[in-house]
Each structure stands twice: as structure tokens, then as C-alpha cells.
Chain A
């Protein structure tokens, strides 16, 4: 028996593949799966939303937004905003299956959001910018439009789907979950633009119904100082070109429906209330 010493011609135990290529293939596959699952679940959430009764929405809302509702007394700012919404409902301009409550949150955010269960959250930063009642009414009308089109629930469904996916991935690796979050955000922003446009149209319709004209509808966009642009989370000020598109759409709607512009009602909230808080 002879022993011939020699080294193997190549290493059979290590696959010859570029690690970067491996990363690209795996990451690409994972992102594709996430996007598909998210879109499918999002579609499912959309379908469910249309069947969700106002009662179950209220139940859902009590869990999610209890911290806004346990406040005892509404402030004068809240009363004033609530009055605007009540006027809209009294005049038959809005027909929602549940009462709408307006809350004001102290924050520098220039924004307002529609929460499940008929809750509108107005951030006080927005109140500092608004100059007329008509302007404020348009913003509230816009939020009511979200309720009317049930966008707030759709966002909720998608939010839950997103939370589900990130938890699923979060258990395995934090960095992957973050990457997924970015992907989802991109697909998400395309979706909400249509909803915003529809809510804008609804707000315009309400404005015309309550005041008999649509003066002040586009004012808000013009009043928003550039430095206060809240970025991608901003409801009313997504980005500059986006904003211009929305104004154009409103003006077009105004022309198509033969809405006219009338005198604005200046902000009735006392200046001290407006600026001290």
C-alpha cells in the first residue's frame, strides 16, 4: 500500500458563490414576498372594512383611542371645532352613522387625523396657522370625508397588517424588519394619495353646503409656512408638487360644479386662547 501525498484540486466543502449575489437574491426574494403578502392582506382589509358595522367600529375605537376620550371637559377650542362639525351635521351636509367628536392635542404638528370611532384629532400647531372659519371647516370636512369613505379604517387595517409582518420578521432579525418597513412605506404612499383627493372633494362639497360658497378651501395650503412642512406624515402638506396638484384639483372641482367664492368668516377663537395654549 502506497501513500501518495497530494492536496485536493479544489475545496469541495465551500460553494463558489459571491456572498453579495447570495444577499441580493435572498433579500430580493424576501422583499417580493413581503410586498405580495402586504398587498393581499391590504386588499383583504379593504374588503372587510366595507362590511364593518358602525357598532363594531366603535368597539374597535374604544380600544385604540381610549386615551383621547377619557378627558372630562372639552376646552373652548374643542367646543368651537365641535360646533363647526355639529353645524355641518345639522345642515344635513354630512350623513355619518355615528356622532363625530373633535379633540385638540397640544403639539407643534400642523396636522389633523381621522381616528376610528368618529374621532377627529386636531393638533394645536394647525390652529395657529388657520386664519378663517372657512379654512378650518374645509379641514374638518376633509376629515369627515375620510370617515365617509372609511379611509381611517382602511389605514387601520393596513397598519395592523404591517405590524403583523414586522413582528413576524422582528422575531428573526431587526434589520430585515426595518428594510421591509421602508418597502411598505413606498407602496403605502401611492395608496393614500387617491384617498386624500377624494377627501378633499368631500371637504369642498361640505364647505359649499354650509357656507353657500367655497371661499377659503385652498387658503390653508397657501398659509402653510415652508418651514412647518411636516414631511411625509403631513396630511395637508405632503410635498410641494403634491400640494400644488391638490390645489389644482380643488380649483378644477370648483369650476366643474360652478361653486362660487364668498367672503370669509375670520377666526372667531379669541387670540389669547389661540396663542397661549
Chain B
């Protein structure tokens, strides 16, 4: 009975705290995306500028680790039984990717463009405990190009 109360409390906490955190995070993501809209991050390898216009080229990267909550985990476990789209993890991964991209852009405030952008994802602490409460990391990296003043 005590176990059940603990689990229900954690699930409820996961739902309320998780939803609140997610809402706040998305709000912050949208705001920062607007601010950084002037800086394109593209997957092309070619630099669309002549060599003499380029002042510097350097690697930029951003990573974000987002943890799962009990409620999302419960939903995912239930999905494991029936199969289908694991909706509860979608926002988790999306937030991690968006955050990683934003942090990457924030690392290059002077850049004109970031090319060859790649995103990688990995699970952290997946096997660290029996409970299997993990988090995911998204890592975004690319090549930032700064141009000479014209």
C-alpha cells in the first residue's frame, strides 16, 4: 500500500511538475528561436561565401540533457505493451534537440552562418539503476563561419 502511494505520488508529481517544466521550456525555446532567427544553421557542407570574405571558421556545439519523469515513463511503459507512437517521449526528444541547436547557435553570436549541422542523441543513465529512469542527451554541432566586416 505504501509503495502504491509512493508510486502514485511520483506519477502525479511527474505529471504536474513535468507539464509545468515543459511549458516553461517551450516558451523559452520559442523566445530564443526568434532572437536567433537571423543566424541560419544548415546541413549543407559547402560554404556559400568566397574564401576572402571569411574571417574565421570554428566548431560550435551545444548539448542538452533532459530527464524523463514518472508520468512519461508510465505512458511509455503502457505503450510498450500495445505498440505505436510513444507520444510521451516525443516532446522530450524535441525539447532536447531544440535546446541543443539553440545552445549551439548561442556559442556563435558573431557567425553569419553555421554549416554542416548534425544532431546526435544518446541515452544517459539507462542502465544505471533497476528502475531504469534515464535521461536523453541531444548534441548539436556544426561549423560556424564568421565574415569579415564589409
A contact set with B: CB distance below 8 Å: 1, 3, 5-7, 11, 13-15, 17, 19-20, 22-23, 26-27, 29-30, 172-176, 178
7 A-B pairs within 8 Å (CB atoms) are namely: A6-B37, A15-B87, A26-B75, A27-B78, A173-B77, A175-B11, A176-B77
Q: What is the CA–CA distance of A27 and B78 in the complex, to the nearest angstrom?
A: 7
Report chain B residues within 8 Å CB of A26. 75, 78-79, 81-82
Q: Of A1, A7, A11, A17, which contacts B48 at CB under 8 A?
A: A1
Q: What is the CA–CA distance of A30 and B81 in the complex, to the nearest angstrom?
A: 8
Q: Chain A's nearest CB lies how many Å from the CB of B98?
A: 9
Q: Chain B's nearest CB lies how many Å from the CB of A239?
A: 20
Q: Of B3, B4, B81, B87, which contacts A17 at CB under 8 A?
A: B87
Is B121 located at the chain interface by the 8 A CB criterion? no
Known A23-B74, A30-B78: A174·B91 in contact at CB below 8 Å: no
Within B57-83, the residues touching A (CB, 8 Å) are: 71-72, 74-75, 77-82
Q: What is the CA–CA distance of A11 and B97 in the complex, to the nearest angstrom?
A: 12
Q: Chain B's nearest CB lies how many Å from the CB of A104?
A: 30
Known A13-B94, A14-B90: A3·B80 in contact at CB below 8 Å: no
Report chain A residues within 8 Å CB of B11. 175
Q: What is the CA–CA distance of A174 and B72 in the complex, to the nearest angstrom?
A: 15
Report chain A residues within 8 Å CB of B93. 13
Report chain B residues within 8 Å CB of A178. 3-4, 7
Q: Of A7, A11, A174, which contacts B94 at CB under 8 A?
A: A11
Looking at chain B's contact residues, is the secondary structure mostly helix, strand, loop, or mixed? helix
| Most-contacted residue by chain A among B40, B85, B87, B94 (CB, 10 A) | B87
Is B8 located at the chain interface by the 8 A CB criterion? yes
Q: Chain A's nearest CB lies how many Å from the CB of B95?
A: 9
Q: What is the CA–CA distance of A7 and B41 in the complex, to the nearest angstrom?
A: 12
Report chain B residues within 8 Å CB of A22. 75, 87-88
Is B106 located at the chain interface by the 8 A CB criterion? no
Report chain B residues within 8 Å CB of A15. 85, 87, 90
Q: Chain A's nearest CB lies how many Å from the CB of B136?
A: 14
Q: What is the CA–CA distance of A178 and B74 in the complex, to the nearest angstrom?
A: 13
Known A5-B37, A26-B82: A19·B90 in contact at CB below 8 Å: no
Q: Chain B's nearest CB lies how many Å from the CB of A181?
A: 10
- Structural contact, A19 and B3, CB atoms closer than 8 A: no
Q: Chain A's nearest CB lies how many Å from the CB of B145?
A: 13
| Most-contacted residue by chain A among B38, B75, B78, B82 (CB, 10 A) | B78
Known pairs A14-B90, A19-B72, A26-B75; list 11 more (Cβ under 8 Å).
Answer: A6-B37, A13-B94, A15-B85, A15-B87, A19-B71, A19-B88, A23-B75, A26-B81, A175-B7, A176-B74, A178-B7
Q: Chain B's nearest CB lies how many Å from the CB of A23?
A: 6
Q: Chain A's nearest CB lies how many Å from the CB of B84?
A: 9
Q: What is the CA–CA distance of A1 and B40 in the complex, to the nearest angstrom?
A: 13
Is B33 located at the chain interface by the 8 A CB criterion? yes
Q: Chain A's nearest CB lies how many Å from the CB of B29?
A: 10
Interface string of B17-46 (1 = CB under 8 A from A): 001000000000010011001101000000
- Structural contact, A175 and B74, CB atoms closer than 8 A: yes
Smallest CB gap from A182: residue in B: B4
Report chain A residues within 8 Å CB of B97. 13
- Structural contact, A3 and B37, CB atoms closer than 8 A: no
